[in-house]
Amino acid sequence: MNNAGLRRTQLTDEVAGDLRTRILTGEIRPGAFIRLDDVANELGCSVTPVREALVTLRGEGLVRSAPHRGFIVEEISRHDIVDIFWMQSQLSARLAVHAARNASIDLGALTTIVDEFEEAVDRGDAEVVLDREYQFHRAIHLAANSRKLAWFLVAATKYTPYSLYVEDKEWGRQAVVSHRRLIGHLANGDAEAISAEIHNRFIDARERLIRELELRGFWDGSAADAEGVQARASAR
């Protein structure tokens, strides 16, 4: 692939990521039309990467195409949110358990990352919070030595709207405490405690997203609402 093709691929991924986050946080509602020209003008790009991004999102089931009308946002039920976070928690917990069996895992480096994460939370630096959160989990996933599992998790985490969390100091402080506990569990090789810690964090993230969507009236009048409520209750 030449450099121009690579840049366009990267731009398409960035547009897809932006639209995916806006859909998952309720900024763009189910049933809404996404018009290529409007998105291109807003993001300062051509229509081509926007169209390619929407084709990607169509493949993910987030939008559908309507002949001569563009793309329409699909419904996302509470059940969908529960499933997304359940899948991520399962993959993340398994990777962390694998990492705990690796004698060369650098727990000191993990502690340093959490220290920097905590400092960023305290000063409200969302960009650094996001980076250190990424670096913390990346270090654990690399120590797991399970590339295929890590690949699936990377694909799944595209559906986590990190912008919802990184500016929330309450979430950040809870994450610091959880990360420090997780380091202790990794040091002890306690697979059960590792899994429980990670599952609890994903449950918290899931509930924060659901509450935010409820506050935005995301499911008001939605046909998927009744199914989602039942699914969420069953998942607890």
Over residues 185-225, the pLDDT tens digits come to 999 999 999 999 999 999 999 999 999 999 988 888 644 44
Q: What is the pLDDT of residue 69?
A: 78
Q: What is the pLDDT of residue 78?
A: 94
The predicted model scores a pTM of 0.83
Planar angle of CA 14, 18, 23, nearest 5 degrees:
145
Domain boundaries, the chain: 3-73, 78-235
Structure tokens at 91: 């993959």
DSSP SS3 for 220: coil
Q: Where are the alpha helices (DSSP H) in the chain?
A: 3-24, 36-43, 47-59, 78-100, 107-123, 126-143, 147-157, 163-166, 169-188, 191-215, 225-235
Rg (CA), the chain: 19
* DSSP letter string, 154-185: HHHHTT--THHHHT-HHHHHHHHHHHHHHHHH
**Span 126-138, mean pLDDT?**
97
Domain 3-73 has CATH 1.10.10.10: yes
Q: Which CATH architecture has domain 78-235?
A: Up-down Bundle (1.20)
Q: At what angle do helices 36-43 and 47-59 cross, to 10 degrees?
A: 120
Round the average pLDDT of the chain to a whole number and report it. Answer: 89
- Tens digit of pLDDT for each residue in 6-27? 455 688 999 999 999 999 999 9
The answer to whether residue 128 scores a pLDDT higher than 90 is yes
Contacts 24+ apart (CB under 8 A), 217-220: 218/26, 218/29, 218/30, 218/76, 219/77, 219/78
Q: What is the pLDDT of residue 176?
A: 98
Structure tokens at 6: 């690579």
